[in-house]
Amino acid sequence: MSTTSQEAAARPFRFPSAFTILFGLIILVAALTWIIPAGQYQRVHNAALDRDVPIAGTYQVVDPSPQGVFDVIMAPIAGLYNPATNQANAIDVALFVLIIGGFIGVVASTGAINAGIGSAMTSLKGREKWMIPVLMGLFAFGGTTYGMAEETLAFYVLLLPMMIAARYDAVTAVAIILLGAGVGVLGSTVNAFATVIASDAAGIPFTQGIVLRFVILGLCWLACVIYVMRYAERVRLDPTQSLVFDRKAENEAHFLAAHQGEKLDFTGLHKLVLTIFGLTFVVMIWGVLKGGWWMGEMSGLFLASAILVGLVARPGEQEFVDSFVNGARDLLGVALIIGLARGIVVIMDAGKITDTILHWAEVSVSGLSEVVFINVIYWIEVLLSFFVPSSSGLAVLSMPIMAPVSDFANVGRELVVTAYQSANGLVNLINPTFAVVMGALAIGRVPYERWLRFMWPLLVALTVIIMASLSVAALIA
């Protein structure tokens, strides 16, 4: 075997990024336009949705419109803004993502989030057991409001030494953060990168179905807290019960020696910044419910709130601008993914196969009850989440197809949105294609297979909660 071959064999397999997967799907869908028969439904304007919706039973085969290489190249562009029709597709959503990224960057630059978490840790010192529900609640709030994920990576170096010093283990510390934020995303309520984008793609206000999402969030959060607390107490009483007991001495030496013990004071300024942060989301909900706001107005709100935080914290003009731009830059990938994912829909629509696939789905669910239908959708989204871990990418990819199918099954589109975000959030608690999971486990020095051993009973419990919630909602809708 040559040296090159040996190097290739030794090189570990890396799952493609969301960008590669989505662009590959564009190519695949373009190829399918040469194979799948073209067809269209008759449509009628729906005043409630303010858009044309397909009429069941009106599907007809039409002349084919296969898509070529040029169409593939232009698809991501048209996904954001279609130069052929002079119409915006997802540019408003992408802009909203960039502005909320800037807002989060400004808030994070004040140190308010770190100080808030640190204050909670300090106040509970000696009662570390109760840090688990408190911290998981704080991280869940971040997950349900703005999809807190990558931002959590900074907290592991703070929490790991504290939990190990309290006679717990690295798995406990990782679970508090990863499950805390993850269950918040699973039960997203106003998460701009899941609920809002998915609802927009489904053609409904994101506030529809919010009560069910609060129920799922509360039940799943409680299940996670109980599960982690029971595991942590077992480890505290008997260290041999730890899934990483063989690394106990090594982890203690590593994390406790590296812990510097710095403490960031939780000042009145930090409290004021976090108050503005929370009130911004309250105002956003009010604006959507009462003021008819959508992407433009919500973008303006987060821009105004970022400026208000800047005026309150007074970091200086240059630092404020840098924080906003850096925050927006951190979410540039999300904004581009939105256009790339919408490009798949552009190809499908131009190739006139969207309605054909919709027709096949209509036929396949025609005999299903509402309960069976919504659970089938849930498992389809679970499967898709392994290949497209990005919540925004999966939302824009799947909702334009799945949401209209629900019209034929007599199921509300808001249930399809909830099924999508619950499935995506659940999978991303263990998804090896999700960088946050692998990064967290690497920082915590927890092998992936042991994380799976820790997680599988909880995954079963969360799945039961989600499916039961969706089923009850479908029955009473």
Question: Which of 98, 271, 119 is closest to 192 using CA atoms?
Answer: 98
pLDDT tens for each residue of 196-224: 889 988 888 889 999 999 999 999 999 99
Q: How confident is the model at residue 13 (pLDDT cuts 50, 70, 90)?
A: low
The label of the residue with tokens 């918040």 reads 184
Contact present, 174 and 440 (Cβ < 8 Å): yes
User: What is the per-residue pLDDT across 161-194, written as a single tens digit (0 to 9) for each?
Assistant: 778 877 899 999 999 999 999 999 999 998 888 8
449: pLDDT confidence band, cut at 50, 70 and 90?
confident
Helix (H, G, I), strand (E, B) or coil at 405: helix
* The pLDDT of residue 260: 46
Q: What is the pLDDT of residue 213?
A: 96
Q: What is the pLDDT of residue 53?
A: 62
Count CA atoms within 13 Å of residue 122 on its CB side.
12
For residues 241 and 162, the model is more confident at 241
Is 227's pLDDT higher than 50? Answer: yes
What distance in Å separates the CA atoms of residue 289 and residue 205, rounded to the nearest whole number? 9
Would you state the structure tokens that stand for residue 38, as one six-digit string?
């073209």
* String of DSSP letters for 40-52: E--EEEETTTTEE
pLDDT at 313: 92
- Number of C-beta neighbours around residue 222 at 10 A: 14
Instruction: Report the pLDDT value the prediction gives residue 258, as an integer from 0 to 100.
Output: 44
Span 94-130, pLDDT tens digits: 888 789 889 988 988 898 876 776 676 667 666 778 8
Residue 14's Cβ-count burial label (10 Å; 0-12, 13-18, 19+) is exposed
Closest CA to 186 of 413, 431, 369: 431
Return d(Cα 155, Cα 398) in angstroms, integer: 32
Residues 348 and 354: beta-carbon distance below 8 Å: yes
pLDDT at 420 over 70: yes
Of the candidate ranges 63-67, 163-167, 257-261, 272-276, the one whose mean pLDDT is the lowest: 257-261
Copy the structure tokens of residue 276: 């503005």
pLDDT digits (tens, 9 = 90+) for 291-313: 777 778 888 999 999 999 999 99
**Quick check: 348 pLDDT over 90?**
no
Whether the predicted pLDDT of 85 surpasses 70 = no
Inter-CA distances, 386 with 15, 62, 423, Å: 10, 34, 10
pLDDT score of 294 = 73
**Residue 49 predicted with pLDDT over 60:** no
> What would the pLDDT profile of 360-415 be if each residue is shown by its tens digit?
877 777 778 999 999 999 998 898 887 677 787 788 778 877 888 888 888 999 99
Is 35 exposed, middle or buried, given 0-12, 13-18 or 19+ CB atoms closer than 10 A? exposed
CA distances from 284 to 225, 274, 291, 413 (A): 29, 16, 10, 21
Task: Report the distance separating Cα 17 and Cα 345, nearest Å.
Answer: 19
The pLDDT score that the predictor gives to residue 475 is 92
Residue 179, both tokens: 């499950």
List beta partners, residue 81.
Answer: 88
pLDDT at position 125, please? 67
Q: What angle do CA 260, 261, 265 make, to 5 degrees?
A: 130
What average pLDDT does range 436-459 have in this prediction?
Answer: 88
pLDDT tier at 261, thresholds 50, 70, 90: very low
**What pLDDT does 15 receive?**
58
Q: Which of 252, 207, 271, 127 is nearest to 417 (CA)?
A: 207
| Radius of gyration in angstroms for the set of CA atoms belonging to the chain, rounded to a whole number | 23
- Chain length of the chain: 477
